[in-house]
A and B are shown apart, each in its own frame.
Chain A
Amino acid sequence: MAVCIAVIAKENYPLYIRSTPTENELKFHYMVHTSLDVVDEKISAMGKALVDQRELYLGLLYPTEDYKLCRYGYVTNSKVKFVMVVDSSNTALRDNEIRSMFRKLHNSYTDVMCNPFYNPGDRIQSRAFDNMVTSMMIQVC
């Protein structure tokens, strides 16, 4: 379903980034990193317009032509960003499904944060989170 899932801290460094092992990891890092531009743009635009709406889903950030990938963004209230790169050839994936995936991701991230041994700002090494991400990536692949 997803080929790359990244959690990015408020300060824009990656808390977690995981991509399909078959593909070049570096490429995804660059891709997610550049998409932060769009995330930033959307957040700043949202800051003015959608303060009350509590809409965390940013929608499609940036389709990439050459890899048939689309990036979707999601930003939590604490400005932690989730970026998901999905294979756009998979048109069965609708907006709602992406939303639900993000919600799942968010819930799992919240669980990680609830762990008293987790230091906020550290890289996420939770196995449960990892498994959840794996499940989200495996579904189609």
Chain B
Amino acid sequence: MDASEEPLPPVIYTMENKPIVTCAGDQNLFTSVYPTLSQQLPREPMEWRRSYGRAPKMIHLESNFVQFKEELLPKEGNKALLTFPFLHIYWTECCDTEVYKATVKDDLTKWQNVLKAHSSVDWLIVIVENDAKKKNKTNILPRTSIVDKIRNDFCNKQSDRCVVLSDPLKDSSRTQESWNAFLTKLRTLLLMSFTKNLGKFEDDMRTLREKRTEPGWSFCEYFMVQEELAFVFEMLQQFEDALVQYDELDALFSQYVVNFGAGDGANWLTFFCQPVKSWNGLILRKPIDMEKRESIQRREATLLDLRSYLFSRQCTLLLFLQRPWEVAQRALELLHNCVQELKLLELKSLGYLCGLVSEKGPNSEDLNRTVDLLAGLGAERPETANTAQSPYKKLKEALSSVEAFEKHYLDLSHATIEMYTSIGRIRSAKFVGKDLAEFYMRKKAPQKAEIYLQGALKNYLAEGWALPITHTRKQLAECQKHLGQIENYLQTSSLLASDHHLTEEERKHFCQEILDFASQPSDSPGHKIVLPMHSFAQLRDLHFDPSNAVVHVGGVLCVEITMYSQMPVPVHVEQIVVNVHFSIEKNSYRKTAEWLTKHKTSNGIINFPPETAPFPVSQNSLPALELYEMFERSPSDNSLNTTGIICRNVHMLLRRQESSSSLEMPSGVALEEGAHVLRCSHVTLEPGANQITFRTQAKEPGTYTLRQLCASVGSVWFVLPHIYPIVQYDVYSQEPQLHVEPLADSLLAGIPQRVKFTVTTGHYTIKNGDSLQLSNAEAMLILCQAESRAVVYSNTRAPALGGESDMLGMAEPHRKHKDKQRTGRCMVTTDHKVSIDCPWSIYSTVIALTFSVPFRTTHSLLSSGTRKYVQVCVQNLSELDFQLSDSYLVDTGDSTDLQLVPLNTQSQQPIYSKQSVFFVWELKWTEEPPPSLHCRFSVGFSPASEEQLSISLKPYTYEFKVENFFTLYNVKAEIFPPSGMEYCRTGSLCSLEVLITRLSDLLEVDKDEALTESDEHFSTKLMYEVVDNSSNWAVCGKSCGVISMPVAARATHRVHMEVMPLFAGYLPLPDVRLFKYLPHHSAHSSQLDADSWIENDSLSVDKHGDDQPDSSSLKSRGSVHSACSSEHKGLPMPRLQALPAGQVFNSSSGTQVLVIPSQDDHVLEVSVT
């Protein structure tokens, strides 16, 4: 058999029961055949068809062959199936008819009758044919064999009940065949018998079960019946079926128990309700615990007995089924990993019961109980008695002495922990470890308990189980107290004191433990116990005053923190210290300003994330992702190269997850000793939020980072090792600074103005008597008032001493001429430097002040015939109004006879912003005037709005030169209507008469290239030109010509021209211009202007030809548009030079001629000018 042939461990019992087959007849024959038979029978499987639609099974048959006795046949009503003979075989070797008739037939008949009497129909007759015997009597039985006879006699209709086995002991093919036939027959008959008998049995059993509601029904009885069935199945190696029987029994029994519990009591159950006297251990090593079975049979079994018997049977079957794991599952689903724990639990509870675990050792009552218990265990089973490791011995030993119990208990616990750890059930291992720790604590071995408690606590902390944490911590605290680990104990106490899962009393107790310790005078005064802060109090927020956390040297900084005390009672703290790390800043102030905008909240409050609570560790301990956009641009063209997202706090996120043990380990906290501390003494921390204010005076400039927060209670220091997020404050030292700035928008030259001096003292302290020494340029005056005042301002951002002193800066209004013409409208500026000596520096501060000149001045020469006037125009460019006074124009030259007669009536004149004022003087002279005149204009000015100034201001001066200012020529033009007409008419030619008169004799100014001398007469060449820019007139014929003008007074030249008015009305006369005509040889390079010389004038009409009286004049058909002297490109051309404005007086300028429209005009155009 598969199961039994397996090399099973010796504890597993091999099933010895086999279906019984009786043998009658020739016993010697059977004995000779038996070895082969028992070997061959199970070799081939047989299909077993079952009743009730159960699936057919292939089974290997095996039999227990016994000698036939009548007692073996079951009597009526015997339900025992195990001893039931399933088949009866009659063996005979008879081959002789005589012998057959004489003995065998009678024997057979008798056998048959016995069977019939017991209504057993399962039988078989085997006739063994032996060749050796047969040979001797071949002739005796020629035709009918014994087989036929037997068949005739006994198997009237069942011929298959008789088989022939030929030469069973020989090794021939015939023998083999005959064996096979025989075995097949045998198996078939056996199965038939099984089917029939088992079916009948099952039917009976069911009938019995149906009666279970009847009063007299007994479960035990039924149990025995169904178990019988199970036995048979087991016997047939049908362990599955056998197991089903037990499961059914189990279920039935459970159902009864449940019903019993529900009040539906069955009588038979009361048998089980006896007090438990015995608690024999379960025996798995025997297939059938016959003692228990018998007790069940006798209805004396207890519930425990029944249960354990059932279970042991189930286990046995499961083991046969090669399913030990199911044994485990069924054994409270525990075997492969939990059996040890079960034992442990049982053992420990037994230990409790017997007082072995108690600290005092067993007392008498406990001892009594122990004795009872040992008695209840019963006698040790003989089969285990010899083994040293038997559980009974162990248990007995354990229960009989404390030491032994301890030893066994520890053995088991360690084994369990090891087992759990190795199969990965860490939590269970920790739990057992905790139990073990409790045991150690009871045994006064806290040093051994600690490691288990720590291990368990670590596990709970890692997974965030609050209640187990609290509980384990409480145990740990006790343990540490016993061990005298003061630091650890205090730390655990502080954790417990802040634990909200504990009651208020417990928390107070632990808090008091800390305070008691703290108040003890310590042995060594410097000794500190450093504990982490987070359990004691939490830093909630921090607030700087000033809120930007930037303070100048010497300034006062307040740091206000909110601490949330976790203690249940108010705690008096001797001092709270913030250790500050000082670093000298490099680019601090800029950095600070930037930092301010970036990092600080507007109100200056920094909130701290709440300390990670014990749970959930894995989530809250991670800071949030700080993601930022990132753009990278190419440096050359600012185009986007790459973009992306960067995480700023990678270092926080990607660091190794520290084991949470650090939470518990005080070694992680190191007290930093720093030179810079913020201190606050004698604070009482109430439970909940507390405000604590630190005050410090800033000393050295730099960045101060708040590192650690310590609170000391006696010799106990609670330390927050790192303040995160980083909190910094900056102390800056500013060098004294001096700013000078005007009060108005800009400084104007020439008038007193106020300038503000701002001194930012920075770190420098102004002492009494400190002064600023100003060294100024000469051109600028500093007007100091008698009482110089300085106002000290102090503003919050940067306290500074601001001084304001009046300085009346006045730049000299005298201007260099060249400066003036630079820009049209803008004021000319000039810089003046002021050097200031400050008391805090050995170097002078040089400050440049920019002054703007408020005026712009132009001059012009005006003529009236030979009388000359000088006009000066003063333009106010500034925003201020001024009062002008005392205008003077003086000739700085040496001509004494020149008189400048002012025509200005008012001495005082206002000049408003952006307005102009004109001054005019007449030039008078008696002798011949000099060719040029140097003048200086000066005018006093003062701001119009100012009250009377105490000082006299320098006047504004303007120097200029006037040249060629007296008149040489008088030009007079007249237009006459055509002859016979009263008025000029449009379209008709009128005559233009130009009269050029020289007014003076030869003068110095005439001496130039144009002057020609002949016979002591001097003449100069002039070119005239008639231009009508307003296109009122059309000049007919030559519009220009060159004349030779004698250089003598009263010399006159007359020119006639034809002009035609184009419009009607009063028309101004066309302009007549005069140029000096310089000969070509003068090597004068002038700018070349190709357009300025136009050969043909389209309008010119050659009418009057060369009608000029002075025929020496050059005939020119060109019209000269350009007033500038010009020379034709590349050709030696004469040059024209404009006469200075003062030398030509046009006496007819401004006159107008009336032109009336022509009569036949249909269209009248009137031009009004």
**What is the interface of chain A, defined by CB distance below 8 A to chain B?**
9, 11-14, 25-26, 29-30, 33-34, 36-38, 40-41, 60, 62-63, 65-66, 89, 91, 121
CB-based nearest A residue for B469: A29
Q: Can you give 22 contacting A-B residue pairs, CB < 8 Å? A: A11-B463, A11-B616, A11-B618, A12-B463, A13-B464, A13-B615, A13-B617, A14-B465, A26-B468, A26-B471, A29-B465, A29-B468, A33-B465, A34-B428, A34-B431, A36-B463, A37-B425, A41-B424, A62-B333, A65-B332, A89-B261, A121-B616
A38 vs B425: C-alpha distance in the bound complex, in angstroms?
7
The answer to whether B465 and A13 have CB atoms under 8 Å apart is: yes
- Interface positions, chain B 601-652, Cβ under 8 Å from A, are 615-619
**B467 in the interface (beta carbon within 8 A):** yes
How long is the Cα–Cα vector from A66 to B463 in the complex, in angstroms? 26
Residues of A within 8 A of B415 (CB): none
Residues of chain B within 8 A (CB-CB) of A38 are 425
Chain B residues contacting A13 (CB-CB under 8 Å) are: 463-465, 615-618
B345 interface contact, C-beta 8 A? yes
CA of A130 to CA of B345 in the docked complex: distance in angstroms?
A: 34
A37 with B427, Cβ < 8 A, contacts A12-B463, A29-B465, A63-B332 known? yes
Q: Judge whether B258 is part of the interface by a CB distance below 8 angstroms.
A: yes
A41 touches B615 (CB 8 A): no
In the assembled complex, B1003 has its CB within 8 A of some CB on chain A: no
Q: With the chains together, A91 CA to B256 CA distance in Å? A: 12
Q: Chain A nearest CB: distance from B247 CB in Å?
A: 15
Most buried by A among B342, B420, B467: B467
Name the A residues within 8 Å of B345 (CB-CB).
65-66
Question: B732 near A: Cβ within 8 Å?
Answer: no
Given A26-B467, A41-B425 in contact, is the A63-B333 Cβ separation under 8 Å? yes
Which of the four size classes fits the interface of chain B? 20 to 34
B420 to chain A: which residues have CB within 8 Å? 37
Measured between C-beta atoms, what is the minimum distance from A3 to chain B in Å? 16
Q: Is B350 an interface residue (CB 8 A)?
A: no
Q: Is B460 an interface residue (CB 8 A)?
A: yes
Q: What is the distance, in angstroms, from B317's C-beta to the closest C-beta of chain A?
A: 21
B464 touching A33, Cβ below 8 Å = no
Q: Which residues of B contact A29 (CB under 8 A)?
A: 465, 467-468
Q: Which of B353-388 contact A (CB under 8 A)?
A: none
Bound Cα distance from A89 to B428, whole angstroms: 24
Q: Are A33 and B618 interface neighbours, CB within 8 A? A: no
B residues with a Cβ closer than 8 A to A are 254, 258, 261, 332-333, 342, 345, 349, 420, 424-428, 431, 460, 463-468, 471, 615-619
Residues from chain A with a CB closer than 8 A to the CB of B332 are: 63, 65
Please tell me which one of the listed residues B333, B424, B464, B618 contacts residue A14 in the complex, with CB atoms under 8 A apart. Answer: B464
B427 adjacent to A34 (CB under 8 Å): yes
**Shortest 7 CB-CB distances between A and B: which pairs?**
A13-B464, A37-B425, A12-B463, A11-B618, A29-B467, A13-B616, A37-B427
Apart from A11-B617, A26-B467, A34-B427, list 14 A-B contacts with CB within 8 A: A11-B464, A11-B618, A12-B463, A12-B464, A13-B464, A25-B467, A33-B460, A33-B463, A37-B424, A37-B428, A41-B424, A41-B425, A65-B342, A65-B345
B329's nearest neighbour on chain A, judged by CB, is A60
CA distance A89 to B966 in the complex (A): 141
Complex CA–CA separation, A12 to B342 (angstroms): 26
In the bound complex, how far is the Cα of B468 from the Cα of A12, in angstroms? 13
State whether A121 and B619 are in contact (beta carbons under 8 Å apart), knowing that A29-B468, A30-B468 are contacts in the complex. yes
- Chain A residue numbers with a CB within 8 Å of B616 are 9, 11, 13, 121
Residues of B with C-beta under 8 A to A26? 467-468, 471
A34 contacts which chain B residues (CB < 8 A)? 425, 427-428, 431
Could you tell me the dominant secondary structure of chain A's interface residues? mixed
A34 to B341, CA, bound (A): 13
Question: Which residue of the partner chain, among B261, B342, B426, B465, contacts A37 with CB atoms under 8 Å?
Answer: B426
**What is the CA–CA distance of A82 and B17 in the complex, to the nearest angstrom?**
49
A33 CA to B465 CA, complexed, in Å = 8
Chain B residues positioned under 8 Å from A11 (CB to CB): 463-464, 616-619
Complex alpha-carbon distance, A29 and B425, angstroms: 16
In the bound complex, do residue B427 and residue A33 qualify as a contact, i.e. CB atoms below 8 Å apart?
Answer: yes
- Which B residues touch A60, using CB under 8 A? 333
Interchain CA distance A30-B459 in the complex, whole Å: 12
CA distance A29 to B615 in the complex (A): 15
Secondary structure call for the B interface? helix
Point out the residues of chain A lying under 8 angstroms from B468, CB to CB: 26, 29-30, 33
CA distance in complex: A63, B425 (Å): 16
B417 CB to nearest chain A CB (Å): 13
Q: How far is the CA of A34 from the CA of B434 in the complex (A)?
A: 12
> A30–B254 contact, CB under 8 A?
no
Q: How long is the Cα–Cα vector from A33 to B456 in the complex, in angstroms?
A: 11
In the complex, chain A residues whose CB is within 8 Å of the CB of B424: 37, 40-41
Please indicate the chain A residues that have their CB under 8 angstroms from the CB of B619 in the complex.
11, 121
Q: Would you give the shortest CB distance from A53 to chain B, in whole angstroms?
A: 21
* Min CB–CB distance B663 → chain A (angstroms): 15
Q: B residues within 8 A CB of A12?
A: 463-464
* Shortest beta-carbon distance from B756 to chain A in Å: 59
Closest to A60 in B: B333
- List the A residue with the shortest CB-CB distance to B471: A26
Distance in Å from the Cβ of A122 to the closest Cβ of chain B?
8
Nearest A residue to B614 via CB reads A13
Which residues of B lie under 8 Å from residue A36 when comparing CB positions?
Answer: 427, 463
In the assembled complex, how far is the CB of residue B465 from the closest CB belonging to chain A, in whole angstroms? 5
B771: min CB distance to chain A, Å = 68
Q: Give the shortest distance, in Å, between A27 (CB) and chain B (any CB).
A: 10
CA distance A89 to B258 in the complex (A): 8
Contacts of A91 in B (CB 8 A): 254, 258
CB nearest to B342 among chain A residues: A65
The distance from the CB of A62 to the nearest CB of chain B, in whole angstroms, is 7
- Chain B residues with CB below 8 A from A62, complex form: 333
Closest to A29 in B: B467
User: Whose C-beta in chain B lies nearest to the C-beta of A38?
Assistant: B425
Does A30 contact B464, Cβ atoms closer than 8 Å? no
* Cβ contacts under 8 Å, A63 to chain B: 332-333
Q: Could you tell me the distance between the alpha carbons of A60 and B464 in the complex, rounded to whole angstroms?
A: 24
For A26, A30, A65, A91, which residue has the most chain B Cβ atoms within 10 angstroms? A30
Q: How far is the CB of A86 from chain B (nearest CB, A)?
A: 15
Whole-angstrom distance between the Cβ of B147 and the nearest chain A Cβ: 61
- Closest chain B CB from A37 CB (angstroms): 4
- Chain B nearest CB from A139 CB (Å) reads 17
CB–CB A30/B463 < 8 A = no
- Measured CB to CB, the closest approach of chain B to A79, in angstroms, equals 13
Residues of A with C-beta under 8 A to B349: 66
Report the separation of the CA atoms of residues A89 and B426 in the bound assembly, to the nearest whole angstrom.
29
Q: Which chain A residues border B615 with CB–CB below 8 Å? A: 13-14
Q: How far is the CB of A136 from chain B (nearest CB, A)?
A: 21
In the complex, which residues of chain B have a beta carbon less than 8 angstroms from the beta carbon of A25? 467
Minimum CB–CB distance from A78 to chain B (whole Å) comes to 14
Residue of B nearest to A90 (CB): B258
* A66 CA to B332 CA, complexed, in Å: 12
Q: How far is the CA of A62 from the CA of B466 in the complex (A)?
A: 23
Complex Cα–Cα for A63 and B338 (A): 11
Identity of the chain B residue whose Cβ is nearest the Cβ of A39 in the assembled complex:
B427
Q: Whole-angstrom distance between the alpha carbons of A34 and B464 in the complex?
A: 13
B423 closest partner in A (C-beta):
A41
Nearest CB of A to B327, in Å: 15
A37–B426 Cα gap in the complex (Å)?
A: 7
Q: Which of B258, B332, B619 has the most CB of A within 10 A?
A: B619
Shortest Cβ distance from residue B914 to the other chain A in the assembled complex, whole angstroms: 69
- Kindly state the separation between the CA atoms of A40 and B615 in the bound complex, as whole angstroms: 20
List, in ascending order, chain B residues with CB within 8 A of A14's CB.
Answer: 464-466, 615
Is B431 within 8 A of A33, CB to CB?
A: yes
* Chain A nearest Cβ from B1058, distance in angstroms: 104
What residues of A have a CB within 8 angstroms of the CB of B258 in the complex? 91
In the complex, the chain A residue whose C-beta lies closest to that of B426 is A37
The smallest C-beta distance from A18 to any residue of chain B, in angstroms, reads: 12
Report A-chain residues with C-beta under 8 Å of the C-beta of B428: 34, 37
Q: How far is the CA of A32 from the CA of B616 in the complex (A)?
A: 17
Task: State whether A30 touches B431 (Cβ < 8 A).
Answer: yes
